[in-house]
Amino acid sequence: MRLLSWNVNGLRACLGKGFAESVSALDCDVICLQETKMEPHQADIPLDGYEILYNSAEKKGYSGTAVLTREKYLSSTVGIGIDEHDHEGRVITVEFQDFFLVNCYTPNSQRELARLDYRMRWEDDFRAYLAGLDAKKPVVLCGDLNVAHQEIDLKNPKTNHMSAGFSDQEREKFGQLLAQGMTDTFRHFNPDLTGAYTWWSYMFSARKNNAGWRIDYFVVSDRLMPRVRASLIHSDIMGSDHCPVSLELDI
């Protein structure tokens, strides 16, 4: 099974930048999108054979997630069951026979870490939600998790220390997630690889200069790792300020 995750930074805009062609070429069984910024009736996705699940934010043109699947699934839910967190369209969970797939768009801590206190509550509640799923069957978590875990995961760690996405607090919470029994699949296969990023600012020719951050992930339950065949970053695919990432599972 091949899974894809992509923060499209506005699905309607990305549709006009080759989205369907890029995704079709990757031939994925499940496609997880973040920051869709739309409601289901606002765009048609020209991909045949997929069922589409949406979780749109209550605020118009903001946040939002979607899952496109051509694989049969057992059930799907939106949110994590906590009212404080479930108004921004940030989580879709799809239960397959062998695992739970969780598509997540983690809240950004914002400039000067204005939303860091909320982010910390989110992290603890979301980690508990994943633990509850993992107690039933393995979990595949994907999405824009809005954190670069280690210095290797961004171009300029020193000048970005304590910026949103690279605060000590956010990095520690990601470490707690891994300690809970999960693996960062890309880093597992590429422990020392530098220059591997998934997001670049639109300013200062960042993508041209590969001055980026790795903040988009596939994180899986440790016991699922023997079935992971590949974890890839598709940095050549344009259409957003993020690029897609993919996971190949022997399922």
Q: Which residues are catalytic?
A: 105, 144
Contact predicate 207/9, CB 8 Å = no
Half-sphere exposure of 218 (CA within 13 A, CB side): 29
Distance, CA of 220 to CA of 101 (rounded, Å): 9
The DSSP code for 144 is E
Task: Give the position of tokens 């990305």.
Answer: 14
CB atoms within 10 A of CB 1: 18
Q: Give, in degrees to the nearest 5, the angle at Cα 42 between 39 and 45.
A: 100
Contact predicate 105/90, CB 8 Å = yes
Token duo for residue 229: 């065949």
Beta strands across the sheet bearing 100-105: 75-78, 91-95, 100-105, 139-144, 216-221, 182-184
Distance, CA of 173 to CA of 177 (rounded, Å): 6
Contact predicate 178/184, CB 8 Å = yes
Contact predicate 137/99, CB 8 Å = yes
